[in-house]
Amino acid sequence: MFLKVLSISFILTGFFFFTTATIGLLRFPDFFCRLHATGKGDTLAVLLSLIGLAIYHGFCLASLKIISIAVFYFVAQPTATHAIARAALRCGVKPWAKGEERR
Amino acid sequence: MEKFFLGIGIGLCFLVLLCLYRGIFGPTVLNRLAGISAIGTKTLVILLLMGFIYDRVDMFMDISMVYAILNFIGTLAVAKYLETKGEV
């Protein structure tokens, strides 16, 4: 019972971070701001959701593989975000400053 | 508990639709790439939830892992291509 409540709270926290990352992706004014929102929020949300699912499934080989997906994603997603941001910077995209209009 | 997983899955599908707006109408290619990457992230969790709903976790988990790797490699390839091209 306690483990079930713990896993439900983990999954709900992950869903909250998914929602905030999506709102940031839609509402922020600039490409770099959007990337900042989705890069950090989605990484944390995936980590929390997969830990909650692994706790619900119990201790066996399957939950170990779920944790390994989470660890892989925790390394891979910041790398992909960094690659996109560096490509944008080398392509000459200027960061947004206060007072300019949305792009 | 299946009802809870189903609710979370439907909510994530709604968020995927919201991300698809950035994927379609994004001003440049880079915005579209960020939107598609976010969609791939949500699809990973949706696949695992489907495994828990249908009670076939051991099968859907491998699909989810392959989806994570393909999403990472695809994003990296497009970013490298745009970087060597030098313009958006």
pLDDT, one tens digit per residue, over B20-79 is: 999 998 788 999 999 999 999 999 999 999 999 999 888 999 999 999 999 999 999 999
* pLDDT tier for residue A93 given thresholds of 50, 70 and 90: confident
Q: How far apart are CA A41 and CA A20, in angstroms?
A: 7
With a CB cutoff of 8 Å and minimum separation 6, the contacts of A30 are A95, A96, A102, A103
CB B26 within 8 A of CB B32: yes
At residue B88, does pLDDT exceed 80? no
What does the pLDDT average to over A2-17?
94
The letter for the amino acid at A41 is G
CA distance to partner chain B, nearest, from residue A14 (Å) = 10
Contact between B65 and A69 under an 8 Å Cβ cutoff? The reply is yes
Inter-chain CB proximity B27 and A22 less than 8 Å: no
Nearest to B35 among A14, A18, A25 (CB): A25
Average pLDDT over residues A7-36: 93
List pLDDT tens digits, range A22-49. 999 999 998 999 999 999 999 999 999 9
Per-residue pLDDT tens digits for A48-81: 999 999 999 988 898 999 999 999 999 999 999 9
For position A83, what pLDDT does the model report? Answer: 93
pLDDT tens, residue by residue, B7-17: 999 999 999 99
Rounded CA-CA distance B75/B48 in Å is 21
3-state SS assignment for residue A4: helix
Task: Let me know if residue A64 belongs to a domain.
Answer: yes
Helix axes A61-90, B29-54, angle to 10 degrees: 170
B-chain CB neighbours of A65 within 8 Å are 61, 65
Chain A positions contacting chain B at CB under 8 Å are 4, 8, 11, 14-15, 18-19, 21-22, 25-26, 31, 34-35, 38, 42, 45-46, 49-50, 53, 56-57, 62, 65-66, 68-69, 72-73, 76-77, 79-80, 83-84, 86-88, 90-93, 103
- Interface mutation target, options B3, B10, B13, B15, chain A, most CBs of A under 10 Å: B15
What residues make up the domain containing A50? 2-90
Q: How far apart are CA B9 and CA B47, in angstroms?
A: 9
Residue A43 lies in a domain: yes
Domain count, chain A: 1
pLDDT range class, residue A13, cuts 50, 70, 90: very high
| Beta-carbon contacts of residue B57 (< 8 Å; ≥ 6 apart) | A57, A62, B48, B51
ipTM: 0.89
Name the token pair of A26. Answer: 């839609």
